Structure 1
Amino acid sequence: MNSFLIVLFTSLIINHGASEKTYNKNLDNTKKQRECIDILTENLISQNWSEDEKPCLDEILKTIVNIKNSTLWATWIWDSNQLPVGQLMGSKHHLGNYDQCISDVIGTTTPPFRTKYCLADIVLHFNEVPKLSAQDIDPYGRTEEQINMKTEWNQRFNVITWGVCVPQTCQKESVKKILRTLLGQSYLGRLKLQSHINIENCELAGEAKNHVDGFNIILFQHNQMFLYKEKH
């Protein structure tokens, strides 16, 4: 009987310790998630916003506050965006969800402000001569070398086409600030790269209903302009 009680008591202590560790781990993860969006907020605010751009910043900050409260309209906007993925394998298009962004009604109600979907061309610059073969890349070397590589088929990994959902009030310069801040949240933001951002097309929520397929039209126009620039 005494042996049973000792084993039971020991088991309770071990399980309590494991539960406490699990709780603390979950608490740390919650803090990290909260800190990420807080860091994003701080980085946005630290940008040099002109008076004309303040309405955009105010609506972005309003969105972030409501994201932290899990408000649907704000999470809806946030969920239509995505960070770049697969860039090291040549995935240059990171388009998010166009339809979700340009929807002017969520359920049966309109959000507090209109959004727009913008396509941006981003070129990441690294001040070294590009390597021409994957065989020249050291997997224990710097990630910048892969990003900067130019293959024998002229494929580059430093070019990004990024679709982003922002408030209607955001001007092109404001969208660039938002993209630079979001870029800083990805691993690309930790690399020693300079980014050149060009905004070509933006489409306002609700207006795409006039198109047969608004996304294909905006993407076609964007690609035509991008190809023209590459040739000239």
Structure 2
Amino acid sequence: MQPLAWPDCRNARDLGGLPATAGQLRTGRLIRSDNLDQLAPAGLTAVHAAGISRFVDLRSAWECETFRSPYADDPRLMNVPLWDPGDPDVSELGLFEQYRILLDDFAERVAAAVVAIADAPPGCVVVSCHAGKDRTGVVVALTLDLIGVPRELVAADYGASGAAGETIVRLLDHVRAQYGGTAAYLLNSGASSEQLGGLVGRLTG
């Protein structure tokens, strides 16, 4: 994991270097970030140099309109909202319970976000939300777990965004107990085996 100098984003890092079952996650394949509307001119230059093939924006339509991404009109941007304004308000619940509800009740949305990474054109994929912690944290944790990154390193990556790593480990334990693991969860939620295999290949091959 390497923090990126993307002024004025505060939570951008390349996940390259993490060990995985199929081999080390390659640098320049997967980046997680907070809201890209914060990018200053120097940040835009840095993003341009990163060779991005897809921006996976997990924010709601309201957030996208209110905090407009500089890539809003760029065909590389794909908006995959994980929460909808019409969903029940879970903001008063603890983080684990919020994440559990997201995974259990809106599994197709979560799988669509992971598939958006898998199906991206060759190049680097950026996954972002508002703070780059919760929605991005869930999608990235599932992606890392899928390719076989050790749990303690998934927790360390999640914790680097300012939350307790035990929360994401507890969530992955829930996925394993309830669905038989991340791969089974994603396959049951709309992803194909070809897409999941392709995701492993694009990140480690």
Same fold (TM over 0.5): no
TM-score range, shorter chain: 0.3 to 0.5
Greater share of helix residues, 1 or 2? Answer: 1
TM-score w.r.t. the length of structure 2 is 0.34
